[in-house]
A and B are shown apart, each in its own frame.
Chain A
Amino acid sequence: MNKIELLAPAKDLAKAKIAIMYGADAVYVGGKSFSLRSRASNFDNESLKEICGFAKSYGRKVFVTVNIVFHDDDYKGIMDYLKYLEEIGVDAIIISSLALIPIVKKVAPKLECHISTQLSSLNSASVEAMKEFGADRVVLAREASMDQIKQIASKSSIPLEVFIHGGMCSNFSGRCVLSNRMTLRDANRGGCAHSCRWKYHLFDGDEIISNPNCLMSMSSKDLRASAYVEEMIRSGVASLKIEGRMKSEYYIGQVVKTYRRMIDEIYANGGLSPERLAYYDEELTKAENRPADDGFLSGECDSSKHLYGINGAGVTHDYVAYIHSYEPTRSIALIEVKNIFHRGDELEVFGPDIDNLRFKADNIYDYDWNDVELANKPTQLLYVRMPFKVSQGCMIRKVNR
């Protein structure tokens, strides 16, 4: 049996490399055109080429999102783009335009076509239709329960991809144009304003029936499906997908690493004990900045799975530095400051091959080797003495959360 794929998002080259270093089997990224998430600093052609080379050197895959809902004008340049993606070694494109399938088969036949969740495939008959259309893989709608996923997987003759972590559309993906109406930003062409997360008065006729202290919102909690990973592996799903092309490198590193370790442990030990699952859950909470639950996996989404009164968004300041290099002779790491920390703070390092090693930041120096008391300038490069070996790509966070 093939090992299940862990698929991670990346906003830019640096984050894609983090995802691969931290254990993703494949990354999905967006180009400058044809991709949702317009605010993500999407990849230009050169960056796409670089990430393909980087991924191949690790034996990993690259998928490119070509998943806007196309209007006629949007197709300009698509043929050349597809040929380019094939030429640089992209493995698959994620699409919502079915018309791209025969085009890809003709002009870039090495590219696989993965059907985006935008097409809301929620049953095995729909998956069969996609197969008949020529699709190589289907990303299931996030509205399927675990039992339904199992049933679909048992009947499907093409690989299935399932979301396991990250933001949830509160409506069926692709079937919400609230943003178009309220901001003229096309939700299906990368402009979603997240109008579902705003607050609304509810009326019946002319009577306001909402509670003024708790207005209505459609905002959903994020998805965290750690408790279902084992079942998904057993169900025969091909790929577990993390959402979040807008997320930070810290989020990507922490979430990818946690699921990587979890999947590997399940394969190695034949399962996961409740204690180990609790450990992994705790690890995932270190990266989250919105409340999360299991979405539709356990069935209907009741009110506990919604966010009322608060948007739920919040930025974590736990992530304090990124490690660029390490000099073992002097036990010194060159770090890039991300968030404030003080000399003497208790910090924790984690990385692709390092599990939460703690140290006290007693020795911090600037570029001229002057002592530093307070690291509070984001992007500033500093030296820190470490009591253990680290490597490029490791990250440092605060311990007292």
Chain B
Amino acid sequence: MELLVTLRKKQLLEKLLPLVDGVIAGSLFTSSYDSSIEDIEIICNYIKTRGKKVYIVMDDFVSEDELPDLYYYFRVISKLDVDGIYFHDFGIYDIARKDDMVSKLIYDGKTVLCNALDTAFLLKRGIDSVVLSRELTLEEITNIVKANPKQVDLQIFGHIRLSYSKRKFLKNYFNEINREYDYLNKETMSLVEEQRDYRLPIIENDHGTYIYSDYVFEMFNEINDLKKYLKRGIIDTLFIDDSTVMEVCRDYRRISNENKEFLKQNLLQSHPDNYSSGYLYQRTNITKDE
């Protein structure tokens, strides 16, 4: 399993690279870390000269108006020496198909890729890999990755995205209450439902609004048994402080069945947070009638 980390700050590259196999950088078509073509080129060269891998994430849905920009951007990116492109919008698949670039694609459907059949369907189209949805149990994940060994990626750490909207929820709300507020791209904002007490991080940019889990997903106890089947494990750093990111990268790199409990306890003590195994042991198929 390649260990990848999402890159939010270029300044962290030097420290991160020795700890991971590769880096996932943003693009103009992603939710959280916009990067210009020039930025990506610099990042790409920096990483490549250090013998590591570089992936680009383009996980927004693209409107028809944005297609010409997407074509241009994709074609420039594809000429760089990137190792893969994470995509969400099947329009990107269509562009890659015409440019003979499908083998560079990695599908991240966020919430909609939950089974082995869809995984196999996409892999059969020639794409490199898929990222499974975060709403799966460990048993479901295990079955899918065993059926498609070394062709599946998994988010193994970080806040889980709960929703993605084209609507500007924060901008609209501040308009509604007639308040001026500096909210754009701010990582410190959160929602608390009036009957509940946990905070859901919310971030808004020019593309829309994204809400994330209150907890930080981790799979210290499970990753060791899965990693021989996984192609890549992704550490998502959004809302995570730099020091925790460094420690987590280091831990996932050296984790084993012998030290996993120790590393987890260590993390809990050094960087206390609301860590959770998410849905690994909890199904979410309760219906309204139950």
| A133 surroundings in chain B (CB, below 8 A) | 125
8 Å CB contact of A122 from B89, B172, B213: B89
CA of A389 to CA of B190, assembled, Å = 60
A296 on the B face (CB < 8 A): yes
User: By the criterion CB–CB under 8 Å, are B288 and A39 in contact?
Assistant: yes
Kindly state whether residue B114 has any CB partner on chain A within 8 Å.
yes
Number of A-B contacts (CB under 8 A): 241
Between A and B, 22 residue pairs with Cβ closer than 8 Å are A38-B289, A71-B285, A99-B120, A123-B63, A124-B67, A129-B93, A132-B94, A176-B165, A177-B163, A184-B284, A185-B286, A186-B286, A189-B287, A191-B285, A204-B188, A209-B179, A210-B177, A216-B191, A301-B166, A303-B172, A303-B175, A306-B167
Contacts of A184 in B (CB 8 A): 282-284, 286
Q: Which residues 204-239 of A sit at the B interface, judged by CB distance below 8 A?
A: 204-205, 209-211, 214-216, 218, 220
A86 to chain B, nearest CB (A): 19
**Given A171-B163, A200-B194, A218-B165: A38 and B115 within 8 A (CB)?**
no
Residues of B within 8 A of A121 (CB): 90
Whether B188 lies near A205 (C-beta < 8 A) is yes
CB pair A174 B211 closer than 8 Å? no
- Interface check A141, CB cutoff 8 A: yes
1/0 contact trace for A40-80 toward B, CB 8 Å?
A: 00000000000000000000000000000111101100000
> What chain A residues lie within 8 Å of B65 (beta carbons)?
147-148, 151
A186 touches B285 (CB 8 A): yes
Beyond A125-B94, A143-B166, A302-B172, whether A98 also contacts B121 by CB under 8 A is yes
At the interface, yes or no: A24 with Cβ under 8 Å from chain B? no
B47 contacts the other chain (Cβ, under 8 Å)? no
Considering the complex, which residues of chain A in the window 71-94 have a beta carbon less than 8 Å from any beta carbon of chain B?
Answer: 71-72, 74-75
CA distance A125 to B177 in the complex (A): 39
Q: How far is the CB of A255 from chain B (nearest CB, A)?
A: 23
What distance in Å separates the Cβ of B252 from its nearest Cβ neighbour in chain A? 24
Contact with A202, one of B125, B171, B173, B287 (Cβ below 8 angstroms): B173
Residue of A nearest to B121 (CB): A99
Whole-angstrom distance between the alpha carbons of A343 and B204 in the complex? 56
Q: What's the least CB distance linking B151 to chain A, in Å? A: 15
Task: Name the A residues within 8 Å of B196 (CB-CB).
Answer: 182
Interface size of B in residues (CB-CB distance below 8 Å): 77
CB-CB < 8 A to B179: which residues of A? 209, 211
Known: A132-B94, A184-B284, A216-B169. A175 touches B191 (CB 8 A): no
Chain B contact residues: helix, strand, loop or mixed: mixed
A325 within 8 Å of B by Cβ? no
Residue numbers of B with Cβ under 8 A of A are 61-67, 70, 89-95, 97, 110-112, 114-118, 120-122, 125, 133, 135-136, 140, 143-144, 162-173, 175-177, 179, 181, 183, 186, 188-196, 199-200, 202, 211, 213-214, 279, 282-289
| Interfacial chain B residues near A209, Cβ < 8 Å | 179, 181
For residue B194, which residues in chain A have a CB less than 8 angstroms away from its CB? 198-201, 215
A378 CB–B CB distance under 8 Å: no
Closest CB-CB distance, B59 to chain A, in whole Å?
10
Partner of A181, one of B136, B140, B213, B285: B213
The chain B residue with its CB closest to the CB of A217 is B173
Q: A102 contacts B111, CB within 8 Å?
A: no
Q: Which of A111-147 contact B (CB under 8 A)?
A: 118-126, 128-130, 132-133, 141, 143-145, 147
A141 and B61: CB pair below 8 A? yes
Chain B residues whose CB sits within 8 angstroms of the CB of A130 once the complex forms: 90
CA of A129 to CA of B163, assembled, Å: 24
